[in-house]
Amino acid sequence: MNIIKVKTNEELSAKASVIIASQVLKNKKSVLGFATGSTPELTYKNLIKMYQDGILDFSSITSFNLDEYCGLEKTNDQSYYYFMMEKLFNHINIKPENINIPDGTSKDVNAECASYESKIKQAGGIDLQILGIGLNGHIGFNEPGKELIYETHQEILTESTLKANARFFKSMDEVPKTAISMGIGTIMSARSILLLGSPGKEDIINATISGVITPEVPASLLRLHSNVTVIYVCS
Ligand code: F6R
């Protein structure tokens, strides 16, 4: 693993956006895997700035998001679709038909998961997957436990994740209990991975990069991948 320790979220975001930008510059037809959440917000702002400054062109890239809550419409301001449009896609020249986010309102969730997985394969796989990390070590919504699921699937969110996500909702009852998430195998199949640890994630990043490799810390599996960069804020 290539491990970069930084002091601030600004530094994390500056470095992360340069890594994403160099992937887009290296291959304008890159397939990028995006995450939502607080962690990548400033990184996405930096990418928008690079687009506005004429440095980056997203017109030929394809995107796949890691996950989406089950039951939330695209128009719900807490859906990950809404987040991605607001925080990035509405402000760059990515083609709408090249944007892929699981449909959390699909009546047949299993069919939606299978179709998402095959779309990723048809696109030739993901060149660079961006990841945040949960306080419990989840990546995407692959929650800690005895077993991890390989492909895109419906995941039941743990108590720790529900609590962490509650900050975005009016009440705990409104927090979706399940989500569609890329599986651990989907993530590990990306050709390169960028894991970002925002302030407060230092302990779980340390467990990821130097503890045992275990499904109890899903991010620790990333140590089995040959091209992972970890950028994290440490005190
Ligand atoms: C989001 C995702 C999650 C988040 C993680 C950290 O698409 O897959 O794994 O990356 O929960 O969330 P934040 O960045 O809000 O701390």
Is the pLDDT at 20 greater than 90? The verdict is yes
Tell which residue, 43, 89, 110, has the closest CA to residue 101.
89
Cα dist from 94 to 64, 68, 85, 202, whole Å: 12, 20, 11, 33
Q: Using one digit for the tens of pLDDT, what is the confidence trace for 27-55?
A: 999 999 999 999 999 999 999 999 999 99
Quickly list H helices, the chain: 9-26, 41-52, 80-87, 109-122, 159-165, 184-188, 202-210
Q: Using one digit for the tens of pLDDT, what is the confidence trace for 177-232?
A: 999 999 999 999 999 999 999 999 999 999 999 989 999 999 999 999 999 999 99
Whole-number Å distance between alpha carbons of 5 and 11: 9
Whole-number Å distance between alpha carbons of 4 and 64: 25
Report, as residue numbers or ranges, the catalytic residues: 67, 136, 138, 143
**Residue 235: its pLDDT value, please?**
87
User: Is the C-beta atom of 201 inside 6 A of ligand 1?
Assistant: no
What's the 111 CA to ligand 1 centre distance in angstroms?
24
What's the 103 CA to ligand 1 centre distance in angstroms?
18
Q: Using one digit for the tens of pLDDT, what is the confidence trace for 121-151?
A: 999 999 999 999 999 999 999 999 999 999 9
Q: How many CB atoms lie within 10 A of CB 179?
A: 25
User: Is the C-beta atom of 79 inside 6 A of ligand 1?
Assistant: no
What's the 44 CA to ligand 1 centre distance in angstroms?
14
Q: Using one digit for the tens of pLDDT, what is the confidence trace for 52-107?
A: 999 999 999 999 999 999 999 999 999 999 999 999 999 999 999 999 999 999 99
Coil, strand or helix at 129: strand
Has this prediction a pTM greater than 0.95?
A: yes
Quickly list H helices, 167-213: 184-188, 202-210
Residue by residue, DSSP assigns 33-52 as EE--SSTTHHHHHHHHHHHH
